[in-house]
């Protein structure tokens, strides 16, 4: 048996079409354009690439889009003043500060300064709290995208044994909280594994749905996967460069072996990655709709 590929690129394209329809409707009926500002501090190549992709997508969808590129030595106070400026700007519905920030700036202080109603990354403690208790708010983009992938590929989550490998604040903890909610597309029995978990394979082999966000190549091998499981690989690990200079990427799952055991699996690249920016756009749209 070879697993079906869950192609995030295709699902993301479908969601973007739906977003575009809602953007056009919001413009026509309310004369409101979703507004997103992305704030980049410094010259980190990976961060520059991520911000370019976010700006490109927002322009394609017709958003009011602003890019703030700031010098590495900007002071924390100056950055906080800029965040406050956009908190008060009625044309901006989403504020994203690209991480990581330089070491002299307190990341939490900056993230917590963002108006929770414009926190389209879903990192503010207010939105984290809303997520945990199941109240409406902004869900972190990568976990939100994972849930949408499961829903839109018809994976049964209710009552499913779902195991998460990884406990980061960006993926592991949020996806665990999202998937245990008593809501459609969730309602799973959730286990979290991490670096101190004993006999990890005993947990992963129970999983009907296995979500791997460990940040380690081949963290999950075929002997750790239940036959017929759905495997979502969140990992992105660079293993070299092509002769053309492009990055060679693999996930956290031994893809070639696990695809022969699983019923469905996400590839890397082309799996979870394309969903993250799309859910950022959806959060920004929803922010604008709430303001309307």
The whole-model pTM stands at: 0.94
Nearest to 53 by CA among 246, 285, 288, 278: 278
**How high is the mean pLDDT of the chain?**
95
Tell me the pLDDT tens digit for each residue of 273-283. 999 999 999 99
| Distance from C-alpha of 187 to C-alpha of 180, rounded to nearest angstrom | 5
Neighbours of 181 (CB within 10 A): 17
Q: Mind listing the pLDDT tens digit for each residue in 199-225?
A: 999 999 999 999 999 999 999 999 999
| The predicted structure's pLDDT at residue 167 | 97
What pLDDT, on the 0 to 100 scale, is given for residue 49? 87
Over residues 58-81, mean pLDDT? 96
Convert the pLDDT of each residue in 135-191 to its tens digit: 999 999 999 999 999 999 999 999 999 999 999 999 999 999 999 999 999 999 999
CB neighbours of 255 closer than 8 A, spacing ≥ 6? 233, 265, 267, 268
Is residue 217 within 8 Å of residue 188, measured between CB atoms? no
The Cα–Cα gap between 212 and 199 comes to 16
Going by pLDDT thresholds of 50, 70 and 90, the confidence category of residue 1 is: low
List pLDDT tens digits, range 91-139: 999 999 999 999 999 999 999 999 999 999 999 999 999 999 999 999 9
Q: Is 90 exceeded by the pLDDT of residue 45?
A: no
With bands split at pLDDT 50, 70 and 90, how would you rate the model's confidence at 242?
A: confident
Which residues belong to the active site?
54, 98, 121
CA distance 164 to 212: 6
Domains identified in the chain and CATH numbers: 31-115 (3.40.50.10860), 140-273 (3.40.50.720)
What is the average per-residue pLDDT within 245-270?
93
């Amino acid at each position: 048996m070879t697993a079906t590929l869950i192609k995030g690129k295709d699902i993301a394209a479908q969601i973007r079409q739906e977003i575009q329809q809602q953007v056009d409707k919001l413009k026509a009926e309310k004369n409101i354009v979703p507004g997103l500002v992305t704030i980049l501090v410094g010259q980190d190549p990976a961060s520059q690439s991520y911000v370019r992709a976010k700006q490109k997508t927002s322009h394609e969808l017709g958003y009011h889009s602003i890019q703030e590129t700031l010098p590495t030595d900007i002071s924390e106070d100056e950055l906080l003043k800029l965040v406050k400026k956009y908190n008060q700007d009625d044309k901006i519905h989403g504020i994203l500060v690209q991480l990581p920030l330089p070491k002299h700036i307190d990341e939490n202080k900056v993230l917590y300064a963002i108006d929770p109603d414009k926190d389209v990354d879903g990192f503010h403690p207010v939105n984290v709290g809303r997520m945990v208790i199941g109240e409406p708010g902004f869900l972190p983009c990568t976990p939100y995208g994972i849930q949408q992938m499961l829903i839109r590929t018809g994976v049964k989550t209710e009552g499913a044994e779902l195991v998460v490998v990884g406990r980061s604040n960006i993926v592991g903890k949020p996806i665990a909280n999202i998937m245990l909610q008593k809501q459609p597309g969730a309602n799973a029995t959730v286990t979290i594994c991490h670096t101190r978990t004993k006999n990890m394979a005993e947990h992963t082999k129970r999983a009907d749905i296995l979500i791997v966000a460990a940040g380690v190549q081949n963290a999950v091998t075929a002997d750790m996967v239940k036959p017929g499981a759905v495997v979502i690989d969140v990992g992105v690990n660079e293993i070299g460069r092509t002769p053309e200079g492009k990055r060679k990427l693999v996930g956290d799952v031994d893809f070639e072996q696990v695809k022969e055991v699983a019923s469905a699996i996400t590839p890397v690249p082309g799996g979870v990655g394309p969903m993250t920016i799309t859910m950022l756009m959806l959060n920004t749209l929803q922010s604008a709709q709430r303001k309307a």
